[in-house]
């Protein structure tokens, strides 16, 4: 055998080994991808069964013609199992649990993700708002939950940007109104907007019909609020991943106090009327004029009532502020969302006899951790969970429940109803603001 032939054979052997290794790696990689895809597909099937797959509000939509399956969107999402990879493409899993972070949108390296509001089947009612957060009524702006962005960080950003846009719109025009801006609501968007107005040295007035915190204030005291790092005007960057409601509100109150900023609590806005110059705002504390108005109120407006006999009794409430002060009561909690489940469990932890009534046959849109816990509470007998059950009547010392087997009257001393809230349509309509349903319309998309 010649030396040249020996070298050729050695090279062939080497190339053959390398080829086998490469093929082995590819086979291993493909099997791994298939296995991962199967896991995600199983999660999607489970999400469909439990009612988590269908989105209820803002959610990502992936263009599979563009997606390269990098997984950057999944890594960027702070929530678990909202997105996954199937056959090399990103797809939604538990879309109903998306809270609109938008992190996936910004992380995608090929701009394959669009943030969409509503679906073809399920519309979401939202006011008309321009990219600058102005409504169809010139001079009235909306930021935060009312505009579809309930996440704290997003609401803060919108509050800041809306006020900056208002400030920029003034130019050198003079105005004789009492204020440059009247801010209604003191949730994350309202607080950020108020701080921004102060930073820009605008004449402002801010108020809330309740207390500082908005929707966050109505969370149970021990509830953990998930948030992200956010830049607060006149304060700087706040880096939080988990905090309690109390700690977050105390932080906001501290920033307001440090900067001598007042938000008028327990001041309800009764009407907002457009005038030749600005707006006339009537509140429970007086009348004021303002060049512009920022609506930073929640979407719920007023709690949704059941319309059953006895619902006006004093023992009926639509929010729970201090569960740790309630003991040894016979309590009925109504609802099937996270608020109902979380409040029921906290009341049960305070040595109360708790019944949780839900009109559907199973919990469909609660967080996995809440589902796991409520099942444990039910199995242990700590909470009596009644599925496919409605209230027929609320009496002085009892409630009448209607289920598949007929009506049942049980002892009761307190009733908490968590049936969601109603969009403040009349309040908005009186101002002339147009409201429409979004059926799968893009809220945030990349400009091509």
Count of H helices and E strands in the chain? Answer: 9, 27
Comparing 155 with 205, the larger pLDDT belongs to: 205
Report which secondary-structure segment, H or E, holds 120: none
pLDDT digits (tens, 9 = 90+) for 291-326: 999 999 876 656 788 999 999 898 998 888 778 889
70: left (phi over 0), alpha (psi -120 to 50) or beta: alpha
Cα–Cα distance for residue pair 225/243, rounded to 1 Å: 6
Please give the CATH superfamily to which domain 129-296+424-432 belongs. FAD/NAD(P)-binding domain (3.50.50.60)
pTM: 0.64
CATH 3.30.70.20 region(s) of the chain? 3-117
pLDDT digits (tens, 9 = 90+) for 333-344: 999 988 899 999
Domain 303-420: state its class: alpha beta
Cα–Cα distance for residue pair 320/416, rounded to 1 Å: 8
If you average pLDDT over every residue of the chain, what do you get? 85
Place of tokens 């493909």: 30
Residues making up the chain, counted from first to last: 448
Cα–Cα distance for residue pair 389/360, rounded to 1 Å: 7
Average pLDDT over residues 155-163: 92
Average pLDDT over residues 30-37: 68
Cα–Cα distance for residue pair 410/332, rounded to 1 Å: 9
Average pLDDT over residues 364-385: 90
What pLDDT is stored for residue 381 in this prediction? 95
Cα–Cα distance for residue pair 423/427, rounded to 1 Å: 9
Domain 3-117: state its class: alpha beta
CATH 3.50.50.60 region(s) of the chain? 129-296+424-432, 303-420
Is the pLDDT score of 222 beyond 70? Answer: no
Is the pLDDT score of 28 beyond 80? Answer: no
Chain centroid to Cα 390, Å, comes to 26
Is the pLDDT score of 30 beyond 70? Answer: no
Place of tokens 């009596």: 384
Residue 87 DSSP label: T
The two structure tokens encoding residue 161: 């940007």
96 and 48 in contact (C-beta within 8 Å)?
no
pLDDT digits (tens, 9 = 90+) for 388-412: 999 999 999 999 999 988 999 999 9
């Amino acid at each position: 055998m010649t030396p040249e032939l020996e070298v050729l054979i050695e090279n062939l052997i080497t190339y053959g080994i390398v080829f086998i290794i490469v093929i082995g790696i590819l086979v291993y990689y493909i099997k791994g991808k298939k296995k991962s895809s199967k896991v995600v597909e199983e999660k999607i099937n489970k999400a469909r069964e439990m009612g988590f797959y269908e989105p209820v509000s803002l959610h990502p939509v992936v263009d599979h013609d563009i997606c390269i399956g990098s997984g950057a969107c999944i890594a960027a999402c702070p929530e678990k199992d909202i997105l996954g990879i199937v056959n090399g493409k990103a797809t939604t899993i538990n879309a109903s649990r998306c809270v609109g972070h938008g992190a996936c949108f910004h992380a995608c390296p090929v701009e394959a993700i669009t943030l969409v509001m509503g679906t073809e089947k399920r519309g979401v009612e939202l006011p008309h708002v321009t990219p600058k957060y102005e409504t169809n009524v010139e001079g009235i702006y909306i930021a935060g939950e009312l505009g579809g962005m309930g996440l704290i960080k997003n609401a803060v950003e919108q509050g800041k940007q809306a006020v900056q846009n208002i400030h920029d719109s003034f130019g050198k025009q003079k105005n004789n109104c009492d204020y440059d801006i009247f801010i209604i609501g003191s949730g994350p968007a309202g607080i950020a907007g108020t701080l921004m107005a102060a930073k820009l040295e605008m004449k402002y007035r801010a108020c809330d019909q309740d207390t500082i915190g908005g929707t966050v204030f109505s969370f149970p005291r021990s509830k953990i609020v998930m948030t992200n790092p956010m830049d607060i005007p006149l304060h700087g960057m706040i880096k939080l991943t988990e905090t309690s409601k109390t700690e977050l509100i105390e932080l906001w109150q501290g920033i307001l106090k440090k900067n001598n900023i007042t938000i008028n609590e327990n001041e309800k806005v009764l009407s907002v009327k457009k005038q030749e110059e600005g707006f006339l705002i009537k509140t429970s504390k007086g009348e004021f004029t303002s060049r512009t108005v920022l609506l930073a109120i929640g979407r719920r407006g007023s709690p949704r009532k059941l319309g059953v006999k006895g619902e006006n009794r004093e023992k009926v409430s639509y929010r729970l502020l201090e569960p740790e002060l309630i003991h040894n009561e016979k309590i009925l909690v109504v609802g099937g969302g996270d608020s109902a489940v979380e409040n029921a469990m906290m009341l049960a932890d305070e040595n109360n006899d708790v019944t949780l009534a839900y009109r559907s046959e199973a919990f469909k849109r609660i967080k996995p951790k809440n589902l796991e816990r409520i099942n444990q509470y039910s199995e242990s007998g700590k909470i009596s969970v009644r599925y496919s059950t409605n209230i027929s009547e609320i009496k002085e010392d009892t409630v009448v429940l209607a289920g598949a087997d007929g009506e049942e009257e049980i002892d009761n001393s307190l009733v908490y109803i968590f049936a969601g809230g109603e969009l403040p349509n009349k309040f908005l309509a009186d101002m002339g603001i147009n409201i429409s349903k979004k059926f799968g319309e893009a809220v945030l998309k990349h400009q091509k």
